[in-house]
Amino acid sequence: MIDLRSDTVTKPSKAMLDAMYNAEVGDDVYGEDPSICELEQLIADMLGKQAAIFAPSGTQSNLLALMSHCDRGDEYIVGQQAHTYRYEAGGGAVLGSIQPQPLENLADGSIDLNQVIANIKEDDIHFAKTRLLCLENTQAGKALSLDYLSHAADLCQQYQLAHHLDGARIFNAATKLNVEAANIAQYFDSVSICLSKGLGAPVGSALCGSSELIDNARRYRKMLGGGMRQAGNLAAAGIYALNNNIERLADDHENAAYLAENLASIDEITVEYTKNQTNMVFVKLDADLWSGLTDYMKDKGILISGRYSLRLVTHLDISAKDIDYTINRFKEFFVDH
Ligand SMILES: *Cc1c(COP(=O)(O)O)cnc(C)c1O
C-alpha cells in the first residue's frame, strides 16, 4: 500500500529495529534508563535547550508544556487550526483547567501578531490570565519564517508571556528553511517534537526547555500516566531517527513538490501548495467525487484521507516511484469522471 494519509504511518526499518533490540534499559521513573537519558540529552542539545523529557505522544508532550507554563484559570493563545487546540481532545482545558483563546490561522500558517496583542487580557478579575503563546511549526505542512518567530518572541518578552512551540515537525521546518532546528527553537521557552512522524520512529515525543520547566513536566508526566519504566527500546528508535532520518526529509519535500506540480494539471481539482510547504499537499475537489476517488485509489493500492480537502503526506516509506504511480492513478480517475 502507498499510504499518503499521514507521516505517522511509517514502519521501523531493520536498522532501527536492530538499534531497539540492542538498547540498554532501566527504570525511567527512577531516572535509570540509559537509552532514555541519552535520547533526552541528544534532543536537548540539538535544540539548544537545557533539558528534555521523553513522552509517549506529542499530545502528552504538548500537554506537559501547557500544564508546566500555566496554572488553573490561566489562558493560552493558540491558532484555530493548531493541534494543541483542535486535535488534542481539549486536554489543556479538561486536564489543565487552562482556557484556550484560539485565533484564526492566516494562509501561511501564522497567526496575526496584532491579533495576539489585541487578545492579551488585562489584569482584571473578570478575565483569565493570559500566560502563554503557543505556535506550531510546521503548521499544516507550512514552515513559519525565522523573521516571524523572532517577532513573536519579542512580543512574548514585551507582554511577559511564555512561548511554546508545537514542533511536531520542527525538522521539516528546519530543512525547508535550511537552518538548524536550534535556530527555530531559540525563539521559544519550550519545544515539543515528534519522533513518530517523518523521522520514522514507531512511538515517542520529547519536550525540551529549561531544567526547571522539565522538572515540573516530569511530575505532570507521572500524573498523566506517562512514566514508562523500561522504555529505552523506544528511545533507541528515537535516537536512531535523530541520527539517520533528518537529512532525508528533503526527499519528502521534493516528492511533495513534484506531486503538487503534476496534480495541478488536472482541471477537476485545485491543488494548494504554497511556497513554504514541506511534506504535505492539499487538494480540493467536488464533494460528490470525493468518495469515488478514495475508493478508486484504495483499489489501486493508494490510501488517501480528508473530505473536501484531501491531505497527501509524503514520508520515508514513499518513494519517487510511488509518487509517479499516484499521479498516474489520479489522472486516470479524472479521465473517467
Ligand atoms: C501529530 C502531531 C502532534 C502529536 O500527535 P500524537 O499523535 O499525540 O503524537 C502534535 N502536533 C502536531 C502538529 C502533530 O501533527
Instruction: Please tell me whether residues 161 and 179 are part of one structural domain.
Output: yes
DSSP per-residue codes, 179-211: S-HHHHHTT-SEEEEESSSTT--SS-EEEEE-H
CA of 122 to the centre of ligand 1 (A): 32
Residue 1: is it exposed, middle or buried by C-beta count within 10 angstroms (0-12/13-18/19+)? exposed
pTM of the predicted structure, to 2 decimals: 0.97
What's the grid cell of residue 8?
505517522
Maximum distance among all Cα pairs of the chain, rounded to whole angstroms:
63
Query: Domain with 285 in it: what CATH number?
Result: 3.90.1150.10
Q: Please tell me whether residues 233 and 262 are part of one structural domain.
A: no
**Most informative mutation of 136, 166, 172, 199 for ligand 1 (most atoms within 8 A of CB):** 166
Same domain, 45 and 154: yes
In a domain, 148, yes or no: yes
Pocket residues: Cβ below 6 A from ligand 1: 57-59, 62, 83, 136, 166, 168, 194, 196-197, 205
Cell numbers at 322, concatenated: 510511488
Residue 59's domain spans which residues? 10-244
Give the mutation target among 197, 279, 311 for probing the ligand 1 site: most ligand atoms within 8 A of CB: 197
Residue 2 lies in a domain: no
Q: Of 211, 229, 244, which residue sits at a domain end? A: 244
Residues 223 and 287 occupy one common structural domain: no
- Do both 88 and 205 map to the same domain? yes
Q: List the pLDDT tens digit at each of the 337 positions of the chain.
A: 999 999 999 999 999 999 999 999 999 999 999 999 999 999 999 999 999 999 999 999 999 999 999 999 999 999 999 999 999 999 999 999 999 999 999 999 999 999 999 999 999 999 999 999 999 999 999 999 999 999 999 999 999 999 999 999 999 999 999 999 999 999 999 999 999 999 999 999 999 999 999 999 999 999 999 999 999 999 999 999 999 999 999 999 999 999 999 999 999 999 999 999 999 999 999 888 888 999 999 999 999 998 778 999 999 999 999 999 999 999 999 987 7
Q: H-type helices in the chain, by residue range? A: 14-21, 34-47, 58-69, 83-86, 91-96, 113-119, 146-158, 170-177, 181-185, 211-223, 232-244, 249-263, 287-299, 320-336
88 and 81 Cβ atoms separated by less than 8 Å: no
Question: Domain boundary at 244, 277, 295, which?
Answer: 244
253 located within any domain = yes
C-alpha 59 – ligand 1 centre gap (Å): 6
Q: Is there a single domain that holds both residue 163 and residue 109?
A: yes
**DSSP string covering 24-62:** ----GGGT--HHHHHHHHHHHHHHT-SEEEEES-HHHHH
> For 158, phi and psi rounded to 5 degrees?
-60, -40
Angle at alpha carbon of residue 158, lines to 155 and 159, rounded to 5°? 85
- Tell me the best of 5, 61, 83, 196 to mutate to test the pocket of ligand 1, counting ligand atoms within 8 Å of each CB and taking the most: 83
**What are the φ/ψ torsions at residue 205 (nearest 5 degrees)?**
-145, 170
Residues 227 and 198 in one domain: yes
How many domains, in total, are found in the chain?
Answer: 2
Instruction: Answer yes or no: do 280 and 227 share one domain.
Output: no
d(CA 67, CA 190): 12
Instruction: Single out the residue in 212, 244, 276 at which a domain terminates.
Output: 244
| Closest residue to atom 4 of ligand 1, CA basis | 58
Cis peptide before 10 (omega within 30 of 0): no
Assess whether 210 and 252 both reside in one domain. Answer: no
Q: Are residues 144 and 237 in the same domain?
A: yes
Same domain, 252 and 233: no
Atom of ligand 1 nearest to the CA of 62: 10
Please indicate, yes or no, whether residues 136 and 284 belong to a single structural domain of this protein: no
